[in-house]
Amino acid sequence: MINIRPLIETRIRTQIPAFKEVAGAVDLASILKGRLSDNGCYIFQESESDDPSNLVGATRQQQFERFAIVTVVRNVRDSRGTDAADLNHIQRVAVKEALLGWQPHAAFDPFEKAGGKIIGFVNGTFIWSDTYKTSQLISSI
């Protein structure tokens, strides 16, 4: 089985050079505890789920992987966060253009967007997380 998180990181880094930092993370808490770039993108695997197998004597399942793409913008001039939110929206559109429909590896289906939400706005730093999903067929035969 292949780890596609590094492939996502490389795709974003090469497709969106405007990011000052593109990096992997283990989870959202590790991103929030660490040093955040004022124009960064952080990627981690959010979850994995599997459809049940319907074969007898063997196993074949569709495995779904969801990845969080966390984008960060810092703008201390606007205390309400509107400017930072607008800049973050531009980042998120660029990420969507880079990932939506992209097939990270021949064994995986193309990426679909699965949602997004604001993480917070503190001290001029606006943080948003979008989720993208893909799947692959896993089998014991």
User: For the chain, what are the domain ranges?
Assistant: 5-51+60-134
pLDDT value of position 38: 83
Model pLDDT for residues 16-63, shown as the tens digit of each residue: 999 999 999 999 999 888 877 789 999 999 998 888 887 777 788 889
Name the CATH superfamily, with its identifier, for domain 5-51+60-134.
Phage tail protein-like (3.30.2000.10)
- Give how far Cα 36 sits from Cα of 2, 60, 74, 93, 119, Å: 28, 41, 9, 20, 13
Q: What is the pLDDT of residue 78?
A: 78
The answer, as to whether pTM is greater than 0.75, is: yes
Which whole-number Å values give the CA distances from 8 to 16, 17, 68, in the listed order? 12, 14, 11
Give pLDDT tens digits for 75-133: 878 788 889 999 999 999 999 999 999 999 999 999 999 999 999 998 889 999 999 99
Higher pLDDT among residues 3 and 81, named by residue: 3
pLDDT of residue 35: 76
Phi, psi of 9, rounded to the nearest 5 degrees: -60, -45
